[in-house]
Structure 1
Amino acid sequence: MEPEGVLRPHSLVELSMRRIRHEILSGTLAPGERLIEEQLTQRFGTSRAPLREALRLLGQQGLVEHLPRRGVRVAELSRADVDELFGLRDVLERYAVETALPGVTDLRDLAKALDDMATAVEQDDPYSENEAHRRYHVALVALAGHRQLLLVYEPVILKLQLYMAANLRREAEVRAPSEGVERHQRLFDAIASGDPALALDGLARHGARTYIG
């Protein structure tokens, strides 16, 4: 019988990535915490080669940091990093909405992410809520049908996901769980109107700093 948590052979890199990513974004692994290869290989039942590749890819996503002679740790974002990333996110999303509207009618991906966010809140599942939140914003930018824009945008939202995961836990302490869903529903309704001015106003209201520092 395999030890609990051991990963099976198929796509060990992908499985290792998912496991570590889940632990980071669920708060099991805290920002700044060191990731010890020996401990992870024992827990996952895998060798160092796929684990190192998984950590390399997670580094590209901005979730872990490789420090010279000090190994790997969960990434930490400074206040300046967060402000710069939110600024980039806002500029790119505004461009996406300006490009997409009027004319876009297929909002299925955006609606699905919103539904998943609501379900995660109902089930008290912060990890799934954070993942649905990321997919919502990616779907919003994808409305523009602009491949290069999406390629630029996705690394920004991935790096922000680390901050947003911690922020969701802070929000839960001071705000109603449904508040985040309602905020995204208002933005969805503004986009669904097809009115560019209304959608941009909804985006500006949504993009105002509603996050807890």
Structure 2
Amino acid sequence: MINKNSLRSDSLVEVAYHQIKQDFSVRVVNPGEKIIIKDMVDRYGISETPIKQALNRLIAEGLVENIPRRGMRFKEANWEDIEEMLDTRLMLETFFAHRVIESVSLDNKIIDDMRENIKQHYKAIEKIETLDDFFEVYKIDHDFHLTYMKGMWNKKILQIYESIGSHSFSSFLYGKKPKEKLINGVLEHEDICNALENRDLKALEAAIKVHNDNAKEYISLMIKMKNI
């Protein structure tokens, strides 16, 4: 039971958000299961309002869906949705690649931030043991892509990019992606960073596509094997 008296309202939303996400990832609750807010109030010792706000965040991320007249439920892994999401990410990252290269030519901080992200990514993977460690790895992964997209200097497009929830599938993959696969993803980030640093548009577009295709291939395999 959480001591709600010691936490502010925004902190309670954060606690509820992480607790719900954790329960889903370790299958305390299951894909397709209907969400009963009263049960969550009892389980977490948090009032309805922060829980509803946390669920709204998870709806935006694609982990929860709200069905008219049927209420909320945890979303099941759906290959069509994940494929569309990754295709959209690929389209945006490659379409604006030339703009990001132009930004790097003016300010090398983007490269510095991406290199630092890669360094932190390796460290996070090496110490991964708990669910929180796992989420941290995927947060760092997501931050790499956001750093890249910030290089196009377009706030509206960045909002659209963030709204596609390009790493929302991570909660389905907990405990199923071995370290070597996670490390391969960081190596692909290095290829993206190297191409960007060399101002090589074709190499950048190719590296982005390889990274995206490998993510699609692995997730598709997991769904076919019914592991997510």
TM-score by length of 1: 0.82
Identify which of 143, 156, 167 aligns with 1:148: 156
Assess, with a 3 A threshold, how the Cα gap between structure 1 residues 67 and 39 changes in structure 2: closer, same or farther: same
The letter for the 1-side match of 2:38 is E
Unpaired segments of 5 or more residues in structure 1? none
Identify which of 195, 208, 212 aligns with 1:207: 212
The letter for the 2-side match of 1:37 is I
Taking the TM superposition and a 5 Å limit, the aligned residue runs for 1:158-177 are 158=165, 160-167=166-173, 169-172=175-178, 175-177=180-182
Identify which of 171, 174, 180 aligns with 2:185: 180
Preserved contact between residue 118 and residue 186 of structure 2 (Cα < 8 Å): yes
Assess, with a 3 A threshold, how the Cα gap between structure 1 residues 130 and 23 changes in structure 2: closer, same or farther: farther
Preserved contact between residue 16 and residue 50 of structure 2 (Cα < 8 Å): yes
Secondary structure (helix, strand or coil) at the match of 1:73 reads strand
Q: What residue in structure 2 maps to residue 128 of structure 1? A: 136
Secondary structure (helix, strand or coil) at the match of 1:31 reads coil
Percent identical among aligned pairs is 22
Q: What residue in structure 2 maps to residue 106 of structure 1? A: 109
Preserved contact between residue 117 and residue 129 of structure 1 (Cα < 8 Å): yes
Assess, with a 3 A threshold, how the Cα gap between structure 1 residues 164 and 191 changes in structure 2: closer, same or farther: farther
Assess, with a 3 A threshold, how the Cα gap between structure 1 residues 183 and 24 changes in structure 2: closer, same or farther: farther
Unpaired segments of 5 or more residues in structure 2? 221-228
Secondary structure (helix, strand or coil) at the match of 2:65 reads strand
1:34-84 Cα shifts (integer Å, max 9, x gaps): 333122212322211221222123212322112334432222342211111
Preserved contact between residue 26 and residue 126 of structure 1 (Cα < 8 Å): no
Q: What's the RMSD between the two structures over aligned residues?
A: 2.5
The letter for the 1-side match of 2:20 is I
Aligned residue pairs total: 207
Assess, with a 3 A threshold, how the Cα gap between structure 1 residues 27 and 194 changes in structure 2: closer, same or farther: farther
Higher helix share: 2
